[in-house]
Amino acid sequence: MSDEEKVRQDDAQYRAITEDQRLLSRCGPDGSLSFVSDGFCRYFGRARDELLGRSLLAFVPDEDRALVRKHVESLGPTNPAGMLEHRVIVGDDEVRWHRRFDQAHLDAQDRVVEIESVARDITDQRRVAAELRNRDATIRAFFESAAEGIVGVDREGRIVLINARIESMFGYRQDELVGQRVEMLVPERSRAPHARERTEYFRRPRARPMGLGMSLMGRRKDGSEFPVEVSLSFVADDDGGVAMAFVTDISDRINKERQVRHVEKLAALGTLAAGIAHEINNPIGVILSRIELMLMEAGEQESPGLPVTDLEVLQRQAKRLSRIAQGLLSFGRHKRESRPVDLVEIVEDTLLIARKQLERDGIKIVTSLETGLARVLGDATALEQVLMNLLLNARDAMPEGGTIRIETSPAPAQPGAVQLVVADTGMGMVPEVLKRLWEPFFTTKASGTGLGLSVSSTIIREHGGAVRAVSEPGKGTTFTIVLPAMSKDAS
């Protein structure tokens, strides 16, 4: 084969290759096109003679021209090849995305004389990639905004991912948890059993619905513990899979369930107590009347034959029994008269009765009563009974005297409510006593019935309010009562 025939054959093969290439072009260093393939013409929807001699930038949107120009100008002896993604205008106005690979051809003086380009349309790829990113972003948004804490754990028990709820729930940052053993999130006493259960779970991975989850304790960074419920799901992968733990802090739910049980227990106990008190109240009245009559008769005799001292003991005990019966009746009473009442008037009316005796006992009364408060729909007598109970408890906590502070104001943490605060400077209470404070018949007083605070709690609850106590040994006790207020129009 002659050299001329070989050149023609090579040229034919080259043309066949170039015609098969979808987007092949050559341009000068100024960007003017000197060659385009058939695929290039079809893609841009133009004849070859419409393309040759025109600048490559003519088919690039204005916002990408600077990028393309900079790319072309960067090609040279030290950077003979490069790749770039940019938009192009196809047909009249359709904008699509290209990924192009450029190869610069240099002359003997290392000057660029021609740039050969192979390009492909990546519009669909970019769209799919964008959809995947959007999907991943959506999944991540759901993941981060989930009300439950989510922890991903590998087969070795290492934490591989967490969401923001886990950070706030346990008090750790993400970088403090990822890569660590998941057992750091449970108390030390539970870590060995938890590790065994985790190992067993990876042997037989299965979904565990929340309703059938296992209840256990979580351990925060500060060492405090709280009840959690955990449900599990499994995501398989090439590395042995990831167990996804969905963690819910159930402290509020347990507290509410405990409160409901407490209310139900008190209601049943109140009904029983009222029945018992009603049955014994009349006999107690008869006994007291007979004792008082016998004491009167003994007092009229110069040398009484009646054992006066014994009668006085019986009288004191019968009166104590009467007070218990009255307390039981109050504890079991469920129907109260309701009318708009002023909390400040409740305080003032109660102090008219109690102030002098408290001051005789060496107790100073300090008040801060905000006037103009919204009224409360309730039973004034019952609310006075609550305040009197708190004042008497404060007095008993300060046998050497002290100060009682009484405040009324809008409830700062509960819009639409008012609060009454009774604070003393007494001996305070240890946590064990504070925990049982509202239990009926629980008392630390030698002569107490243990019903005063239980009755008070019941009264406040029947008014739709709440009462809480804060106390510390040697630093006194503060009772805060929060009651729903009537609207200004209603009151």
Q: Which CATH class is domain 146-249?
A: alpha beta
> Is pLDDT at 299 greater than 80 in this prediction?
no
- Residue that wins the pLDDT comparison between 488 and 289: 289
Q: Which residues pair with 24 in a beta bridge?
A: 118
pLDDT band at 264 (very low <50, low <70, confident <90, very high): low
Query: Tell me, what's the pLDDT at 167?
Result: 92
- Residue that wins the pLDDT comparison between 7 and 367: 367
CA-nearest of 478, 387, 395 to 437 is 478
pLDDT band at 296 (very low <50, low <70, confident <90, very high): confident
pLDDT tens, position by position, 158-196: 999 888 889 999 999 999 999 999 999 999 998 898 888
Kindly report the average pLDDT of the chain as a whole number: 81
* Among the ranges given (148-157, 371-380, 391-400, 455-464), the one the predictor scored with the smallest mean pLDDT: 455-464
Cβ neighbours of residue 418 closer than 8 Å, sequence gap 6 or more = 343, 373, 374, 376, 408, 409, 410, 411, 482, 483, 485
pLDDT band at 244 (very low <50, low <70, confident <90, very high): confident
pLDDT tens, position by position, 221-236: 999 999 988 888 888 8
Query: Tell me, what's the pLDDT at 212?
Result: 47
Average pLDDT over residues 277-290: 71
3-class state of residue 412 by DSSP = coil
CA-nearest of 178, 253, 165 to 215 is 253
Measured distance CA(28)–CA(447) in Å, rounded:
109
Residue ranges of the alpha helices (H) in 361-483?
A: 380-396, 431-435, 452-462
φ, ψ of residue 151 in degrees (nearest 5): -125, 130
> Is pLDDT at 204 greater than 90 in this prediction?
no
What percent of the chain clears pLDDT 90, i.e. is strictly above it? Answer: 32
3-class state of residue 57 by DSSP = helix
Put the strands of the sheet holding 81-90 in their side by side order: 33-36, 24-27, 112-121, 94-106, 81-90
* Among the ranges given (239-253, 257-271, 380-394), the one the predictor scored with the smallest mean pLDDT: 257-271
pLDDT band at 11 (very low <50, low <70, confident <90, very high): low
Measured distance CA(176)–CA(13) in Å, rounded:
62
Query: Tell me, what's the pLDDT at 18?
Result: 44
pLDDT band at 211 (very low <50, low <70, confident <90, very high): very low
Strand locations in 91-179 (E): 94-106, 112-121, 149-154, 159-162
Measured distance CA(436)–CA(420) in Å, rounded:
22
pLDDT tens, position by position, 404-439: 999 999 998 888 899 999 999 998 988 888 888 777
> Is pLDDT at 385 greater than 90 in this prediction?
no
Measured distance CA(245)–CA(387) in Å, rounded:
49
Query: Tell me, what's the pLDDT at 66?
Result: 93
What percent of the chain clears pLDDT 70, i.e. is strictly above it? Answer: 78
> Is pLDDT at 444 greater than 70 in this prediction?
no
**Both structure tokens of 94:** 């359709």
> Is pLDDT at 16 greater than 60 in this prediction?
no
Cβ neighbours of residue 458 closer than 8 Å, sequence gap 6 or more = 266, 270, 331
Amino acid at 296: M
CATH of 339-484, one of 3.30.70.1050, 3.30.460.10, 3.30.300.30, 3.30.565.10: 3.30.565.10
Question: What are the domain boundaries of the chain?
Answer: 3-127, 146-249, 254-332, 339-484
> Is pLDDT at 491 greater than 60 in this prediction?
no
Measured distance CA(211)–CA(128) in Å, rounded:
38
φ, ψ of residue 91 in degrees (nearest 5): 65, -130
**Both structure tokens of 359:** 């001051």
3-class state of residue 288 by DSSP = helix
Query: Tell me, what's the pLDDT at 173?
Result: 92
Q: What is the largest CA-CA distance in the chain?
A: 163
On the question of a common fold for 3-127 and 339-484, the answer reads no
Please state, as a whole number, how many other Cβ atoms lie within 10 Å of the Cβ of residue 26: 16
Query: Tell me, what's the pLDDT at 210?
Result: 41
> Is pLDDT at 156 greater than 80 in this prediction?
yes
Query: Tell me, what's the pLDDT at 275?
Result: 61
Measured distance CA(318)–CA(369) in Å, rounded:
39
Looking at residue 306, the DSSP 8-state letter turns out to be: S
Cα distance from N-terminal residue to C-terminal residue, the chain: 114
Amino acid at 35: F
State whether CATH 3.30.1490.390 applies to domain 3-127: no
- Residue that wins the pLDDT comparison between 234 and 483: 483
> Is pLDDT at 20 greater than 50 in this prediction?
no
**Both structure tokens of 200:** 């067993």
> Is pLDDT at 446 greater than 60 in this prediction?
no
Looking at residue 87, the DSSP 8-state letter turns out to be: E
Label residue 387 exposed, middle or buried (CB < 10 Å: 0-12, 13-18, 19+): buried
pLDDT tens, position by position, 45-76: 889 999 999 998 999 999 999 999 999 899 99
pLDDT band at 290 (very low <50, low <70, confident <90, very high): confident
Strands 159-162 and 24-27: unpaired
> Is pLDDT at 88 greater than 50 in this prediction?
yes
Q: Find the helix packing angle between 308-332 and 251-300, rounded to 10°.
A: 150
pLDDT tens, position by position, 101-132: 999 999 988 999 999 999 989 888 888 877 77
Yes or no: say if 157 and 198 are a contact pair by the CB < 8 Å rule.
Answer: yes
Query: Tell me, what's the pLDDT at 445?
Result: 63
Measured distance CA(362)–CA(429) in Å, rounded:
21
